[in-house]
Amino acid sequence: MRWARPVTLALFVLLVWSTTVCAEDPSRTTWLGTGFQLTFPVMPPHTVPASGLSLRVWIADLIGFDANFFLVGTSLSFAPRALFKLINLDLADIYIGAGMGFFAYTPPNDALMLYTPVQIFTGLEMRFIPNIAFTGEVGIFGLGGTRGGVTGGLGVHFYF
């Protein structure tokens, strides 16, 4: 049982370290994040182009902006979104948001069209380690040439 004392000491140090790290709210000390967001549905033209490469900025700890870049068919799409935190906890933040996507798409046997669907959603951002956040979102979308419907998404962001 020579290993019991070092293992016990290591577990104690890990416990003390994790409580000091988790004592700070990581979302209060980081504001600029980049990552990847995948939002469903993704099949054009009835899609929300809030997927792809994501740049997220939190201002004043409660208000944020999100810009997503994605390919819809062969066209680059862009979706700016505004975010507002409802609940700001040490481990998780709950937010609501709204945004609009912009993408061009050529339906079969039709002309090139610009689609601008609107999205309204709520999300959960969880941080298990200080600089990495995992997100999950659910909401609705429609207008702008799309049929509309329910939307959901997952994402991961690295905060600087």
Q: Helix (H, G, I), strand (E, B), or coil: what is residue 82?
A: strand
pLDDT at residue 8, as a whole number: 60
Is the sign of the CA dihedral 130, 95, 137, 71 positive or negative?
negative
Say which DSSP state 102 is in: B
pLDDT of residue 55: 94
Going from the first residue of the chain to its last (160 residues), give the mean pLDDT of each consecutive group of 10, the final group possibly shorter.
58 48 54 88 70 89 90 82 92 94 79 85 91 93 81 91
The three-state secondary structure class of 19 is helix
- Chain center to CA of 23: 24
Q: Two tokens at 46?
A: 């009835």
pLDDT, position 22: 47
Domains of the chain: 27-159 (2.40.160.20)
Q: Looking up tokens 């689609």, which residue turns up?
A: 115
